[in-house]
């Protein structure tokens, strides 16, 4: 279990609450509505300012993660890097040679930094980014958005081979009506670079884990423990489960990544932290399933943290808690403490 990694997602939260550090370390954006109200020169200048800031934020986040212990050197980058990149009104701006050179140079540097410092990277487009949809326009937009993420990864140096250095771009399956065949059809419309980077995770409302298993020969699967708990109405999947071997095989020799989170602290304020939350009992007590879906601030439930520990034999984990790096560091400390205790009792 020495090579496992935890990572936080997209946003850095300074423990001292420094607003200045938060601004420097995190990406920002500009909406299409705002840019549309500007004259072309002003819109271009705004995009350059935002992109310049975001490229530096990428570097700072990778630098921060690289300075953490190895078990925390996994990081999900934000999708906000290049606002409006796939929007027709902004495409001319992004063809500008100076802006293009800035993007290519800074992303190449960020990718080298990650590889030199042994930081594993990922991206996760928003839930609207689906490659299979009964709506042709939505499917085309989803594929274009995914290809944008693949281009960012390629410019960072992850454009060759199957999930190089463990890099991946994760999405949800989309509308369930099209089923696994719909996802396969969407995969066929992706570039080879995108096909080599894509992963798909189970969710709570359309594609559960069992719905995705027919795709294990087509795309790596990301197990989300919390989504599975919601979708299955309370099952905690263990590493010995037969489905885990199928997930591992879907990555074709690359160490898988999984996701974990917990229901919100304020929803379960008196719950025993050493006991796994009981979905059916909580719903019977009056808590709505949709509320149980919300993510906590910290990884407060030690029984779930222990479940994560059991899965570290085969998977890295992205921590989808609202306090981001603070939650991830807390889980890392929990694991280190448990491992130290186990060594002392041998």
Say what the pLDDT of residue 1 is.
Answer: 47
Mean pLDDT throughout 295-309? 98
Query: How many residues can be counted in the chain?
Result: 346
CB 335 within 8 A of CB 328: no
Among 121, 182, 131, which residue's Cα sits nearest to residue 154? 121
Structure tokens at 323: 């306090």
Q: What is the mean pLDDT of residues 9-18?
A: 96
Quick: pLDDT tens for 21-78: 999 999 999 999 999 999 999 999 999 999 999 999 999 999 999 999 999 999 999 9
Give me the pLDDT at residue 343, please.
80
The 10s digit of each residue's pLDDT in 159-186 is 999 999 999 999 998 878 889 999 999 9
* Mean pLDDT rounded to a whole number for the chain: 95
Residues 314, 303: Cα–Cα separation, whole Å: 19
Question: Please, what is the Cα angle at 218 between 201 and 227, to 5 degrees?
Answer: 15
Count other Cβ atoms within 10 Å, centred on residue 153: 25
Looking at the DSSP bridge assignments, the partners of residue 76 are 9, 122
Which residues, 6+ apart, have CB-to-CB distance to 222 below 8 Å? Answer: 168, 170, 199, 200, 201, 202, 256, 257, 258, 259
Q: What share of the chain is helix, strand, coil (3-state, %, to 5)?
A: 55, 10, 40
Residue 236: other Cβ atoms inside 10 A: 16
pTM: 0.95
Report d(CA 275, CA 282) in Å as an integer: 13
Residue 177 has a pLDDT of 83
pLDDT at residue 342 tops 90: no
Confidence of residue 216 (pLDDT cuts 50, 70, 90): very high
Which residue, chain included where needed, has tokens 């109200």?
37
Cβ–Cβ under 8 Å, residues 192 and 225: no
For residue 302, what pLDDT is reported?
97
Q: What is the pLDDT of residues 90-140, one digit of tens each?
A: 999 999 999 999 999 999 999 999 999 999 999 999 878 889 888 888 889
Q: Where are the alpha helices (H) located in 219-323, listed in sequence order?
A: 225-231, 242-250, 279-284, 289-292, 302-311
């Amino acid at each position: 279990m020495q090579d496992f990694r935890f990572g936080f997602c997209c946003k850095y939260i300074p423990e001292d609450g420094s607003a200045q550090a938060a601004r420097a370390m995190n990406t920002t954006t500009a909406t299409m509505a705002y840019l549309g109200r500007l004259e072309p020169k002003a819109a271009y200048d705004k995009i350059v300012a935002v992109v310049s800031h975001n490229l530096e934020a990428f570097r700072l986040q990778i630098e921060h993660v690289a300075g953490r212990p190895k078990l925390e050197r996994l990081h999900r980058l934000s999708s906000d890097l290049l606002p409006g990149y796939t929007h027709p009104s902004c495409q001319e701006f992004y063809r500008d040679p100076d802006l293009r050179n800035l993007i290519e140079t800074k992303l190449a540097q960020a990718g080298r930094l990650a590889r030199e410092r042994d930081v594993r990277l990922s991206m996760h487009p928003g839930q609207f980014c689906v490659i299979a949809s009964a709506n042709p326009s939505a499917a085309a937009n989803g594929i274009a958005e995914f290809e944008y993420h693949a281009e960012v990864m390629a410019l960072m140096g992850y454009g060759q081979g199957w999930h190089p250095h463990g890099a991946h771009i994760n999405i949800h399956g989309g509308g369930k009506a099209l089923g696994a065949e719909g996802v396969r059809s969407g995969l066929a419309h992706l570039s080879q670079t995108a096909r080599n980077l894509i992963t798909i995770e189970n969710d709570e409302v359309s594609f559960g884990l069992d719905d995705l298993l027919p795709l294990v020969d087509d795309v790596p699967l990301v197990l989300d423990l919390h989504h599975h708990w919601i979708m299955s109405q309370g099952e905690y999947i263990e590493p010995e489960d037969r489905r885990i071997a199928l997930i591992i095989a879907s990555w074709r020799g690359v160490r898988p990544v999984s996701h974990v989170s917990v229901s919100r602290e304020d929803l379960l304020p008196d719950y025993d932290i050493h006991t796994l939350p009981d979905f059916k009992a909580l719903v019977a007590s009056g808590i709505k399933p949709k509320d149980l879906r919300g993510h906590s601030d910290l990884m407060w439930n030690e029984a779930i943290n222990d479940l994560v520990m059991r899965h570290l034999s085969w998977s890295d984990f992205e921590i989808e808690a609202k306090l981001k790096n603070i939650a991830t560091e807390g889980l890392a400390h929990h694991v280190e403490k448990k491992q130290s205790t186990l060594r002392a009792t041998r």
